[in-house]
Chains A and B, each alone.
Chain A
Amino acid sequence: MLRGKNILITGTNRGIGKAILEKCVENGACVWAHARRETPDFIKLVSDLSVKHQIEIRPVYFDMTDKEAVKKAIISIRSSKLPVDALINNAGVMHNASFQMSAEKALRDIFETDFFAPFFLTQMISNLMVRQGHGSIVNIASMAALDGNPGKAIYGSAKAALIAMSRVIANELGAQGVRSNCIAPGVIATEILQTMPADELEKTKELTPMKRFGSPEEVADAAVFLASEKSSFINGQVIRIDGGL
């Protein structure tokens, strides 16, 4: 589905991002796999996937909140002269606190990582996409952005901002061949769940029509679809991957 495509994915060292990396490579894409830092586990992951699928994976390391580092990475990507066919904005951090218990520092920190960082990165990459006349931007948002889940005042707000950004890009750059869509995962079985209260998790599972949590691979399948030409007339949408919640 992605043969011949070059895709930049952020936050690929674990969870949903790792699953997206695996699925993209499995579908034939060459990937710039972003991680915050180089670790032996990440190097092994990239190397194993590359050998298994005979696909080039180019690791890129930078702190998403460091604009200079992001810029350097984009210059390096641009100098490769390869098109950036898709950008998958996955990197982000979860935060749990009720509205009245949401501290200002956390608010600023989470917005920095979950909204400002992908905003600036997307600005830079979309410039390249406009020049090449095509591109697909996939933003990993959250059902918390749509449903106002208790305890997600900051996280949900940051992801809601990401959805708004995505809609604007869809409207402004659609005519230039650049699409932008969001995925809003429900509760997905990743290590991030450990940060959520157990009773809340159990309640969510019960409320989910499918009576289970989603897997990272189920989110990754949607990301692959949105990055591919199979979704060529889908623009400005939010796809929920939540088992019907």
Chain B
Amino acid sequence: MTNEEKYANAFCQAFDIEPEAAKNLTFQAIDAWDSVGHMGLVAQIEEAFGIMLEPDDIVDLNSYEKGKEILAKYNVEFA
């Protein structure tokens, strides 16, 4: 599984959505991505990449694309 697939899968697991729906998703764009769902997403991402996000990064993670930028700081590369 590529990092892109792992990343999209984290959204799918956290919000029970299809991979295509994950892309372009933003915070609170769907009911499942509320503040509680956000922590579930963080858990899925941390688990998928074996990292621990900084509190500031957890706050900044407000879209699918932004999350990829944040993960770059943790040496997670996307093709």
Q: Do A and B come from one complex?
A: yes
Kindly identify which residue among B39, B40, B52 contacts A71, using a CB–CB cutoff of 8 Å: B52
Q: Can you list, as one digit per residue, whether each of B30-68 has a CB less than 8 Å from chain A (1) or not (0)?
A: 000000100110110000000010110010000000000
The answer to whether B54 and A71 touch across the interface, beta carbons within 8 angstroms, is yes
Q: Are A127 and B39 in contact (CB under 8 A)?
A: yes
Q: Which of B8-46 contact A (CB under 8 A)?
A: 36, 39-40, 42-43
- Tell me, yes or no, whether A78 is within 8 Å of chain B by CB: yes
Bound Cα distance A75, B42 (Å): 14
Interface of B is mostly: helix
Contact A130 B52 (CB under 8 A): no
Interface size class of B (residues with CB under 8 A): under 10
Contact B43 A131 (CB under 8 A): yes
Chain B residues whose CB sits within 8 angstroms of the CB of A67 once the complex forms = 54
- Contact check: which of B36, B40, B52 meets A124 at CB < 8 Å? B52
A225 on interface, CB distance cutoff 8 Å: no
Find out whether the CB atom of A120 lies under 8 angstroms from the CB atom of B36: no
CA distance A176 to B40 in the complex (A): 12
CB pair B36–A78 under 8 Å, yes or no, is no
CA A67 to CA B43, docked complex, whole Å: 20
Q: Is A245 among interface residues, defined by CB-CB distance under 8 A? A: no
For chain A residues 88-147, which have a beta carbon within 8 Å of chain B? 120, 123-124, 127, 130-131
Of the residues B40, B52, B55, B58, contact of A78 by C-beta under 8 Å: B52
B55 & A123 in contact (Cβ 8 Å cutoff): yes
Chain B residue at minimum C-beta to C-beta distance from A175: B36
- Chain B interface residues (CB < 8 Å from chain A): 36, 39-40, 42-43, 52, 54-55, 58
Which 9 pairs from chain A and chain B are nearest by CB?
A123-B55, A131-B43, A75-B52, A130-B39, A71-B52, A127-B39, A120-B55, A74-B52, A127-B42
Interface residues, chain A, with chain B CB atoms under 8 Å away = 67, 71, 74-75, 78, 120, 123-124, 127, 130-131, 176
Report 16 cross-chain contacts, Cβ distance below 8 Å, ordered by A residue.
Answer: A67-B54, A71-B52, A71-B54, A74-B52, A75-B52, A78-B52, A120-B55, A123-B55, A127-B39, A127-B42, A127-B58, A130-B39, A131-B39, A131-B40, A131-B43, A176-B36
Given contact pairs A78-B52, A130-B39, A131-B43, enumerate 11 new A-B contacts (beta carbons under 8 Å): A67-B54, A71-B52, A71-B54, A74-B52, A120-B55, A123-B55, A124-B52, A127-B42, A127-B43, A131-B39, A176-B36
